[in-house]
Structure 1
Amino acid sequence: MTLPPGFAVRLAPGVRVRDHGRTLIGGAPIRVNHLSAGARDLMRDGTLIVADAATRRLAEQLLHSGMAEPVTALLATIDLDQVTCVIPVRDRPVQLDRLLTGLDGAMRVIVVDDASIDPERMAKVAGRHGADFIPLHRNLGPAGARNAGLREVATPYVVFVDSDVVIDPDAVARLLRHLHDPRVALVAPRIRGLDRDDSWIGRYEAARSSLDLGRDSALVRPHSTIAWVPSAVLAARVDALGDGFDSSMSVGEDVDLVWRLDAAGWRIRYDADVVARHDHRTSLRSWLRRKAFYGSGAAPLASRHGSKVAPAVLTPIGAATAVAVLAQRRWSAPAVGLLSGVMAWRLSRSLRGGDHPWRTAGELTALGISANLAQLMHLLLRHWWPAAFVGAVLSRRVRRALLLAAAVDTMIERRRLEPDLDPARFAIALRLDDAAYGAGLWTGAVGVRSVRALLPHIPHSS
């Protein structure tokens, strides 16, 4: 499987270019890549077009490391008669009609009715739009319904779309362009809210939905910035999917599929420039239940994928730094300084191929410390909050750490997202989001009698 001639890639957002283009810092997960002088000369303003074996090799290397993304605007459109849309649905005739209206008959559509209360009504909606209709007499859940539709697909590509989503044929066509890369199995768009809801939960969701993975496209890979993509909309290569989703999973089946494909050597991409719209939950009770539901999926995923589910990834030095910060003792600041120096020294040894190894090492050390502190905040506020809350009742130091983490996290998220919500209600919504997810996480861990989903991953080497 090789990239076709004319396939163009450009450096991904966030990749740092040093040493006059010879050193690249970034990727998924972050790494340092030293280019030869010849490889550097093949890049033109951060863009590379496949023309021969050398450019193909470099483009493949950059794509696989997550340091580059395809320039899909330069790729040919895949005809929509090569794709089948599979829609799992249960008791949502209005939403189904809205989705099918948006698709406008541009491709074959299979509607899989997952044992609705009134399947005849669902069949009428599907028939009105010329969609094929598959009724299931027993509720299989979204994963099982998608698989039932997948078995009826005869085209090389499939797009799974949830019934509470709106997407148009042009967006589907833009997603399919990624599949010109023969190593890409799956691609997902950015998921935004469908309608503006002026409630405070609605405005929070518009800025920070669990399904919205942000404004930067990325390679999807465990332990990276984008570690999974939601199944609300997924365009895929049929021959890569095998039997499809694990129908025994009621939550996290999309994450499971992504990680199985990644382990098999496929690439998965998130394209933030393609947007689909989704009905977000905006009533407080249903919103909190949905957040807890997402959290409950971590424990069963941990039993299948181990440390890929870890709530944090810390090197031994990073873990020691986190302990020193949490301790809040007189020796904490000197310990953090010493550990940072060790980290910079170790990094500089691996950066000898660059012009300024110590300067680059210092930059990476600062990034590493910031990432460690961010992960520590999220552990306290989201993944470990039940234990942290008990600790705060008993310890002034834990209480101080929680309050500081909450204040800093809120400021960072407000600056990053610029939500249309006042600071007080944004802070409350942010903490409720974390609390509901963490409650679901701990409930799931208790349910499977395993703390694996709660434990950070600490690789042996730093």
Structure 2
Amino acid sequence: MRLRIDPGTRMLGRTLIGGAPLRVLRLSEAGARLFRQWENGDEVHSGGQLADKIIAAGIAHPVYERGTLTPADVTIVVPARDPAGPLPVGALVVDDGSVEPIPHAAQRHQVARGPAAARNTGWWLADTRLVAFLDADTRPAPGWLENLLPQFEDPAVVAVAPRVRSAKGSTKLARYERARSSLDLGDKPAQVGRGGRVTYVPTAALVVRVEALREIGGFDEDLRFGEDVDLVWRLVDAGGRVRYEPAAEVVHEPRSSWRAWAKQRFDYGTSAAPLSRRHGRKALAPLRISGWTALAWSLVALGKPKLGLMVALVTAGLLPRKLRPMGVPDGESLKLALRGHLGAGRYVADLLTRTWGPVAIPLLAATRRGRWTLALALSRHVREWAEVKPEVDLGTWIAARAADDLSYGAGVWRGCVTERTVAPLVPDLSDWPGK
């Protein structure tokens, strides 16, 4: 095994800064030497505990030349309802609600019970060590399993997900989805878990150890949406490790119309409330930042940018005292603190136009200062458009991004009303400096 060091990692003497969420690790002299060797491409022959620690922190990602598992060790399970198109050869298809039998089906539900129940029916029939869940409208790229299976050489890894990309198309919706699909988690590998860069992976395409599924009881069939998030978090809570490996790709068909697309986003939003009941308020908090950072940005929004800047500068000065014993220079600590304050502005903007959007946007639009705040929040889409370079014009991109966020936010509010909870609407500001 070799380690691919995450691009955002910095080594200052024996102090390692990186990962998601950001970690600061103080290494021994021997540990620092090993890390530099791994950074240069040497194989991991010793220092297994250190390697495991930085992998778990998201500072490095394991790379295996080959593995002992093959596609013959995998049962492919496809949940489908009245499938009409071609399905993966050799797949175990669970037809959820079909009236007539279909040639591919090994099992059939007479009454539709949802995708979670269909997947459970499928994996319980598997007689292999691994099971791969694939949606009926996905098309795996050649060699996708071969790129995922080596990750299971780590016995702690219980699930690995490929990158799920939206299929290319000529319509504006297809081109937007190709660049901004909610299933596409990017081109960088990651350790999956709450608080990380990749917090969950969709079961539109996911390979899981059958033993791990048995230990947690599989999917929660009471969840109509968000069952994939719940499954991944329970796998991690049980002590397993879940990896995201974009070297493997699966293509997913986008929705056929903007209306169907908006409903999909709305449905995703409705899962926040039931998930918060299962995993706690903080797991689904729409914003998690330091209370001081929240105060600084609140002052800016209230038209007091100088006071907000003063709060940011004063609180940034508290971090060097905390990191100095770990070998982080004061100047570097100040940069980290100020970068954190500045970067949090994007998360505050997400909160205003996404989760709080159905209520916040009308309120902000009613006043001049509110309109300036709203324009500032939406300006992040312009920067994103310039960075992503999607095959849609700027106006379409901004409108689609705004509708994307608003549809999801409306779903969150609907879920909160249904579940009688406000947990997914309440930010987590508990991370105060010095706590």
The C-alpha deviation readout for 1:38-95, integer Å capped at 9, x for no partner, is: 111113251463323xx111111111111111113x232522221111111112221x
- The one-letter amino acid of 1:164's match is D
What's the offset of the Cα at 1:279? 0.5
Instruction: Give the secondary structure class of the aligned counterpart of 2:76.
Output: strand
RMSD: 1.8
- The one-letter amino acid of 1:322's match is W
Note if 1:312 corresponds to 2:283. no
Whether the 8 Å CA contact 1:321–1:336 is kept in 2: the answer is: yes
Q: 1:235 to 1:293 in 2, by over 3 A?
A: same
What's the offset of the Cα at 1:461? 3.9
Note if 1:459 corresponds to 2:430. yes
Instruction: Give the secondary structure class of the aligned counterpart of 2:427.
Output: coil
Corresponding residue number in structure 2 for 1:388: 360
Q: 1:185 to 1:255 in 2, by over 3 A?
A: same
Note if 1:294 corresponds to 2:268. yes
Provide the TM-score with structure 1 as the length reference.
0.88
Q: 1:169 to 1:236 in 2, by over 3 A?
A: farther
Corresponding residue number in structure 1 for 2:335: 363
Whether the 8 Å CA contact 1:296–1:442 is kept in 2: the answer is: yes
Q: 1:455 to 1:347 in 2, by over 3 A?
A: farther
Corresponding residue number in structure 1 for 2:78: 87
Find the aligned partners of 1:134 and 1:169 in 2 and give their Cα distance.
27
What's the offset of the Cα at 1:393? 4.2
What's the offset of the Cα at 1:295? 1.0
Provide the TM-score with structure 2 as the length reference.
0.94
Corresponding residue number in structure 1 for 2:401: 430
Instruction: Give the secondary structure class of the aligned counterpart of 1:216.
Output: coil
Whether the 8 Å CA contact 1:114–1:140 is kept in 2: the answer is: yes
What's the offset of the Cα at 1:169? 5.8
Whether the 8 Å CA contact 2:147–2:247 is kept in 1: the answer is: no
Corresponding residue number in structure 1 for 2:421: 450
What's the offset of the Cα at 1:251? 0.1
The C-alpha deviation readout for 1:289-309, integer Å capped at 9, x for no partner, is: 111111111111111112111
Whether the 8 Å CA contact 2:134–2:204 is kept in 1: the answer is: yes
What's the offset of the Cα at 1:141? 0.6
Note if 1:178 corresponds to 2:151. yes
Corresponding residue number in structure 2 for 1:129: none
Whether the 8 Å CA contact 2:96–2:114 is kept in 1: the answer is: yes
Instruction: Give the secondary structure class of the aligned counterpart of 2:325.
Output: coil
- The one-letter amino acid of 1:184's match is V
What's the offset of the Cα at 1:371? 2.5
Q: 1:272 to 1:366 in 2, by over 3 A?
A: farther
- The one-letter amino acid of 2:410's match is A
Find the aligned partners of 1:226 and 1:202 in 2 and give their Cα distance.
24
Corresponding residue number in structure 1 for 2:344: 372
Find the aligned partners of 1:83 and 1:140 in 2 and give their Cα distance.
25
Corresponding residue number in structure 1 for 2:238: 264
Instruction: Give the secondary structure class of the aligned counterpart of 2:354.
Output: helix
Instruction: Give the secondary structure class of the aligned counterpart of 1:87.
Output: strand
Find the aligned partners of 1:253 and 1:155 in 2 and give their Cα distance.
23
- The one-letter amino acid of 1:157's match is L
Find the aligned partners of 1:19 and 1:374 in 2 and give their Cα distance.
28
Find the aligned partners of 2:283 and 2:231 in 1 and give their Cα distance.
13
The C-alpha deviation readout for 1:210-250, integer Å capped at 9, x for no partner, is: 10111111111112211111110000111111221101100
What's the offset of the Cα at 1:144? 0.5
Superposed, 1:72-111 pairs within 5 Å as 72=64, 74-94=65-85, 97=86, 99-100=87-88, 104-105=89-90, 109-111=91-93
Aligned residues: 428
Corresponding residue number in structure 2 for 1:3: none
Superposed, 1:38-57 pairs within 5 Å as 38-43=30-35, 44=37, 46=39, 47=41, 49-52=43-46, 55-57=47-49
Find the aligned partners of 1:326 and 1:254 in 2 and give their Cα distance.
36
What's the offset of the Cα at 1:345? 2.6
What's the offset of the Cα at 1:369? 1.3
Q: 1:48 to 1:302 in 2, by over 3 A?
A: farther
Find the aligned partners of 1:461 and 1:345 in 2 and give their Cα distance.
11
- The one-letter amino acid of 2:175's match is R
Corresponding residue number in structure 2 for 1:25: 17
Corresponding residue number in structure 2 for 1:69: 61
Whether the 8 Å CA contact 1:223–1:313 is kept in 2: the answer is: no
What's the offset of the Cα at 1:159? 0.7
Find the aligned partners of 2:324 and 2:141 in 1 and give their Cα distance.
47
Paired residue for 1:346, among 319, 342, 346?
319
Runs of 4+ residues deviating >4 angstroms: none
Find the aligned partners of 1:169 and 1:427 in 2 and give their Cα distance.
34
Corresponding residue number in structure 1 for 2:213: 241
Paired residue for 2:3, among 9, 19, 23?
9
Corresponding residue number in structure 1 for 2:389: 418
The C-alpha deviation readout for 1:156-211, integer Å capped at 9, x for no partner, is: 111111111011462012111111111111111111122x2222111111100010
Note if 1:113 corresponds to 2:70. no
The C-alpha deviation readout for 1:336-386, integer Å capped at 9, x for no partner, is: 2333332243244323332x5212212211321133101111011111112
Find the aligned partners of 1:338 and 1:460 in 2 and give their Cα distance.
16
Find the aligned partners of 2:432 and 2:349 in 1 and give their Cα distance.
23
Q: 1:333 to 1:75 in 2, by over 3 A?
A: farther
- The one-letter amino acid of 1:112's match is V
Whether the 8 Å CA contact 2:317–2:334 is kept in 1: the answer is: yes
Find the aligned partners of 1:308 and 1:246 in 2 and give their Cα distance.
17
Corresponding residue number in structure 2 for 1:336: 309
Corresponding residue number in structure 1 for 2:185: 213
Paired residue for 2:375, among 380, 403, 407?
403
Q: Which runs of 5+ in 2 are unaligned?
A: none
The C-alpha deviation readout for 1:301-324, integer Å capped at 9, x for no partner, is: 111112111111111222212222
What's the offset of the Cα at 1:460? 4.6
Corresponding residue number in structure 1 for 2:28: 36
Instruction: Give the secondary structure class of the aligned counterpart of 2:428.
Output: coil
Q: 1:335 to 1:392 in 2, by over 3 A?
A: closer
Find the aligned partners of 1:381 and 1:187 in 2 and give their Cα distance.
32
- The one-letter amino acid of 1:327's match is L
Find the aligned partners of 1:158 and 1:134 in 2 and give their Cα distance.
16
Whether the 8 Å CA contact 2:296–2:311 is kept in 1: the answer is: no
Instruction: Give the secondary structure class of the aligned counterpart of 2:293.
Output: helix
